Amino acid sequence: MHQKDHLLHLCSYSYESGGPASVILNHSRFQIDSGMDVTIASSMDQAHHAYPTAPGVHLEIFKQSIFSRILSEFSWTLLFWFIRKRNSFQYVHIHGLWYFGALLPFIIPNKAKKIVTIHGFLDPYAWNRSAWKKKLLWNVMQKRFLRQADLIHVISREEEQIVLDLFPDLRSKIVFIPNGIEDPIKSTLPAPAPDFVDRIVKIKAKSSFVFLFLSRINRKKGLDILVHAFEELSRLHGSAIHLIIAGPQDDYSEELDKQLATYPHANIDVFDVVTGSNKAYLLEQVDAFILPSYSEGFSIAALEALAYSKPSILSTRIGFAEELISADAALICEPSQASVLEAMQKLYTDTDLQTRLAKNARALFLANYQIEQVAADFIMAIKQV
């Protein structure tokens, strides 16, 4: 290879946009180390906060147009930038569906190999959000463009089956590679902020057990059922049990505020975005992790909890629930209030279960989801296109 291959990631690269940004950060470190040039192009809401980048990665942020109300994340400046740069990239990696960046490389002729990572966007729950717009876009462009992709990357076996059902003739283009992260236990981070530590210490001082929800405050994350289930658990065991809800505001933030305004106990604390050393400290200090989502592609937050040996309660929609069940590495519940309550009750009252899940979670992470192997598999897959 006489010159470096140049890879372009297209996505909304912000904390508020969820998992794809984290996936890109984790992979791009190794793409740089493998000798690639890496650029991230993001049409991003001005109220959102850009995700960090790995050393050597170029981040280009573009202002969204008023037309983004019609086509999500539409940006004139991104369009003109891509027209100028379109033949500079050997690979264009498209993250997700139903937005301007997912269509752009197929609308504007270019020489790049096109990789599409689905990220759960074909899940039935995701389909039903803004359903008429998605069906229109799917029938007019998105389905045809997905068929034209050089590689379709799926991150769960369930997602693989969804794509195969839609495109049974494209089996040779589909590759299954799960998400992965660096082992956080091996990371060297500065000390967490003193005021953050003080807040967590105060919560733990008055608590017998602390559950953590760490994700976007998004409707699909199951916060409605979580708060109701936790209220019932508190009635059973008293308010010494605690729930921390941490994550960037999203489409459920106002409703969560309304729920908590009438919540009868004082054992739920809400944090905004928690990152870096503070997030590491938070995950170390809590007793259990919970994410009762209605829909996930493959949750990075859940993967982080496993890496920290946290006994976890995750829904059947988490993206890799079957693997977790097989490894006895988490409690898997239905995304319903009754099922979440049953799982929380079981985990809280069974210390042997807590110990077993913690041990198995860490073992499963080390065996299957370390980013070094996952990223190497992905680089190999795209170079074979």
Nearest to 197 by CA among 289, 271, 308, 290: 271
CA dihedral 57, 58, 59, 62 (to 10 degrees): -160
pLDDT given for residue 1 in this prediction: 40
Asked: is 184-368 a CATH 3.40.50.2000 domain? The reply is yes
Residue 57's pLDDT is what? 96
Contact 215, 317 (CB under 8 A): no
Q: Note the CATH number of domain 6-180+370-383.
A: 3.40.50.2000
Q: Say how far apart CA 220 and CA 216 lie, in whole Å.
A: 9
Q: Going by C-beta distance under 8 Å and a sequence separation of 6 or more, which residues neighbour residue 193?
A: 277, 278
What is the model's pTM?
0.87
The predicted pLDDT at position 309 comes to 97
pLDDT (tens, 9 = 90+) of the chain, 385 residues, equals 457 899 999 998 988 777 788 889 989 999 999 999 999 999 988 888 888 899 999 999 999 999 988 899 999 999 999 999 999 999 999 999 989 999 999 999 999 999 999 988 888 877 777 788 888 888 899 999 999 999 999 998 889 999 999 999 999 999 999 999 999 998 888 999 999 999 999 999 999 999 999 999 999 999 999 999 999 999 999 888 999 999 988 889 999 999 999 998 889 999 998 989 999 999 999 999 999 999 887 888 999 999 999 999 999 998 899 999 999 999 999 999 999 999 999 999 999 999 999 999 999 999 999 999 999 999 999 999 9
How high is the pLDDT of residue 133?
Answer: 84
Residue pair 247/273 in contact by the 8 Å Cβ criterion: yes
List Cα–Cα distances, 300 to 64, 129, 352, in angstroms.
Answer: 27, 22, 26
For residue 361, what are the contacts with CB-CB under 8 A and spacing of at least 6? Answer: 305, 306, 307, 309, 310, 311, 312, 329, 330
Q: Phi, psi (5° rounding) for residue 14?
A: -140, 160
Q: How far apart are CA 50 and CA 21, in angstroms?
A: 9
Domain 6-180+370-383 identical in fold to domain 184-368 = yes
Integer Cα distance of 149 and 70 in angstroms: 24
Q: Where are the domains of the chain?
A: 6-180+370-383, 184-368
Element of type H or E holding 211: strand 209-214
